[in-house]
């Protein structure tokens, strides 16, 4: 189970960092696509906030201990923080890259959950993967 705990904990960290980055982009986006991006970033951070909580609570439910501070998140995350200098297109590009990164890792976590016959965790991961795949598609088309 330790491998599953570690993999889920990394996703708790990723979701925390992504949540913060999405908030930053929501507050600081400018330009002709301001309204659309401002709303979209808010939708993303609302979803990510729900997932962040769900992943941490699932980890607790199965006997793990989710990281719960910024130092811990930054030590575990696969994502980079926002620099604060991103232009709107760079914001979209970074969020796209973050979703892609998390997707790869979620599929690894799914394999661990299925190996342990943890169907509840697998179900949570599958629905998250489906949602993030749709976000990748939409963001990819936004940048074309």
Would you state the pLDDT for residue 108?
Answer: 97
**pTM assigned to the model:** 0.96
Report the C-alpha gap between 129 and 105 in whole angstroms.
10
CB neighbour list of residue 21: distance below 8 Å, 6 or more residues apart:
79, 81, 82, 94, 95, 98
CB 13 within 8 A of CB 65: no
SS3 assignment, position 72: helix
State the CATH number of the domain containing residue 85.
1.20.1260.10
Would you state the pLDDT for residue 85?
Answer: 95
Q: Across residues 87-93, what is the average pLDDT?
A: 98
In which domain, by residue range, is 128 found? 2-142
Question: Tens digit of pLDDT for each residue in 41-86?
Answer: 999 999 999 999 999 999 999 999 999 999 999 999 999 999 999 9
Helices 119-142 + 88-115 axis angle, to 10: 160
**How many structural domains are present in the chain?**
1
Mean pLDDT score across all residues of the chain? 97
- At residue 143 the predicted structure's pLDDT band, cuts being 50, 70 and 90, is very high
């Amino acid at each position: 189970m330790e491998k599953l705990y570690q993999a889920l904990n990394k996703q708790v960290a990723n979701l925390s960092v992504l949540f913060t980055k999405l908030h930053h982009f929501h507050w600081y986006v400018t330009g002709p696509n301001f309204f659309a991006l401002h709303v979209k970033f808010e939708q993303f951070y609302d979803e990510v906030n729900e997932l962040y909580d769900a992943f941490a609570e699932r980890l607790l439910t199965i006997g793990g201990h989710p990281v719960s501070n910024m130092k811990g998140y930054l030590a575990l995350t696969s994502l980079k923080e926002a620099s604060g200098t991103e232009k709107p297109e760079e914001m979209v590009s970074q969020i796209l890259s973050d979703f892609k990164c998390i997707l790869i890792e979620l599929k690894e976590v799914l394999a661990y959950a299925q190996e342990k016959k943890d169907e509840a965790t697998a179900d949570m991961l599958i629905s998250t993967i489906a949602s993030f795949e749709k976000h990748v598609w939409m963001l990819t088309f936004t940048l074309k």
